[in-house]
Structure formats: structure tokens, C-alpha cells
Amino acid sequence: MSDGPKDIDELLAIPELAPIAPGLGRQISPALRMRHAPGLPPPVDDTPPGADKLGGLADVPRSLADPIYRRRQLVLQLDLARAHALVPGLTLPRQGLLHVLHDAEADTDDARAVALRVVGVDEPLRREPGPKFTHRARPLTLEREQTLPDTDDPALAGLDFPEDDDEVTYEAWCRARGALRRPPTHRLLGWPDWVQDPALPDPPAPARGWRLLLQIDSAGNGLDWGDSGCLYIFLPDLDFYAGRLDRAHIFSQSC
């Protein structure tokens, strides 16, 4: 097991994890993994209109006049039609572009620093000039993946780890789950990979919990969250199922 499992199926087949494998299997959640090429991207955003990308300039409907695009940098642009095709159960609109925008002059721990927008694609798109400084565009490839909670995620509180094996099962679980981490991890839905201990406030009533909408990892060359950290965007569970974005809990964790 020196190299660790390559995927969740291999993880669940590890003999030391047999006592908890059924419980882990019930926690599997599908997600959309977003990957980009390594290295420094070109200085000019030459991606096609509506492209999935980190950074660059936002594409918006020709008639849209939202001044936020002139004040905040684009962090993520995601085509929702492509996302729906890969991850059934997504409750956001089936058409349009999801934008994550960031005010670089504000603290990323401040929810006001990050804004979410969904814009339509039912008319020609134009490319917003954006603020004076923008992140370089990193085109994304999308793929469906299966995810498990992180090692100490509260979702695992019900797992019955054996108490008489010198923590063999728990240590095997930590090694195996750690091997699934292949940063940078940019993810829509599923379970988050925590940089620090999981810590979420109580959701607004009557919601009963939180659901991950997005995890956006540090990508280097200026697109970083603290010291190689991650940006997390959670929705109250009721808002998640209703496709409502205005009460998102947005924060970052840093190494």
C-alpha cells in the first residue's frame, strides 16, 4: 500500500478497511473535478467564449450591465450545461455560466470579497474588460469523480472503528484517504478536502446542514488563497436543493 489507492474502489478493497468499508461506501458522493495544465498560462486570455476556466476575463450576455465585473477579478467560469451533463443532481440552472468573482483588495476570509453570479447564454456573449489586474486564464477540463469525506470530517462520526486493533483501521484509513489527494483540487459538489480542521457554523434556520458547492484550490502565479490554501463555498442544504446562492458561506483555509 506504499503508493496508496488510485481511486475509491481500490480504497474500499484495502483489507485493513474492511470493518468500515460499508459505511464509507454509503458516504460516496459524485462531484465534478476541474483540471488545468501545469505551468504559467499565457498573458492574454484567448479562450473561446463561454470556456470553462480559472482566471481570465468573464464572458457575459451582450445586454448585461453589472458593474461588479469591472471591480472584481474572475476566479472561475463554468458552463452549467457541461456540468449538468457530467454530474446529475446539480440544482443550479441547466443553462448559463457560473462566475466566481474576487475582490483582491479584501481579505478572502470576508464573504464580501467573493461573489457568485449565474448569467444567461441565450444571447451573444461579450468579454468583459475586467479590473486593471486579472488572473491569467487557465482553461479547464472537466471530469466526473467520486469523493469521500476527509479523514476527520464530522460526516464520519458514525463510522464504527474497531477499538481492539491498535488503531490499524484508523491509520490505514488516514493513509488511504490522504493518497486520494492530488492537488490542485478544484471541485464542484462532492466532499471537500480540508486544509485545516473542518469548521462550519450552524446553518441558517430551517436548514439542517451545509452542502459543498465549490472548492477552488491555489493555482499559483497569483491565484492563491493565503499560503497554498483553498477557497470553499458552501450552501445551506435547503438553498442547495433550491438553487439559491445568496446565503452562501464563503471562506478560505491556509496551510
pLDDT for residue 109: 57
What average pLDDT does the segment 134-151 reach?
Answer: 96
What average pLDDT does the segment 170-196 reach?
Answer: 95
3 or 193, which is more confident? Answer: 193
Which of 104-118, 140-154, 155-169, 218-232 has the weakest average pLDDT? Answer: 104-118
Q: What percent of the chain has pLDDT over 90?
A: 80
Grid look-up 444571447 returns: 123
109 or 234, which is more confident? Answer: 234
Residues 185, 34 contacting (CB under 8 angstroms): no
Which of 5-19, 107-121, 194-208, 211-225 has the weakest average pLDDT? Answer: 107-121
Asked if residue 59 has pLDDT above 80, the reply is yes
What average pLDDT does the segment 146-167 reach?
Answer: 89
DSSP 120-184: --SS-EEE----SS-PPPEEEEEEEEEE---TT-GGGTT----SSSTTHHHHHHHHHHHHT--SS
Asked if residue 2 has pLDDT above 60, the reply is no
What is the bridge-based pairing of β-strands 53-54 and 73-79? antiparallel
What average pLDDT does the segment 230-254 reach?
Answer: 94
pLDDT tier, 104 (very low <50, low <70, confident <90, very high otherwise): confident
159 or 99, which is more confident? Answer: 99
CATH 2.170.190.11 applies to domain 29-37+44-147+183-253 = no
pLDDT tier, 89 (very low <50, low <70, confident <90, very high otherwise): confident
What average pLDDT does the segment 63-77 reach?
Answer: 95
DSSP 11-74: HHT-GGGTTTHHHHHTT-EEEEEEEE-SSPPPSS--PPTT--EESS--EEETT---THHHHSEE
Asked if residue 169 has pLDDT above 70, the reply is yes
What average pLDDT does the segment 190-208 reach?
Answer: 94
pLDDT for residue 108: 56
Q: Any idea where the domains of the chain sit in the sequence? A: 29-37+44-147+183-253
pLDDT for residue 107: 63
Tell me the per-residue pLDDT of 110-126, one tens digit each, with 9 for 90 and over.
667 999 999 999 999 99
Q: What percent of the chain has pLDDT over 70?
A: 96
pLDDT tier, 1 (very low <50, low <70, confident <90, very high otherwise): very low
Residues 63, 123 contacting (CB under 8 angstroms): yes
pLDDT tier, 95 (very low <50, low <70, confident <90, very high otherwise): very high
Mean pLDDT of the chain: 92
SS3 233: strand
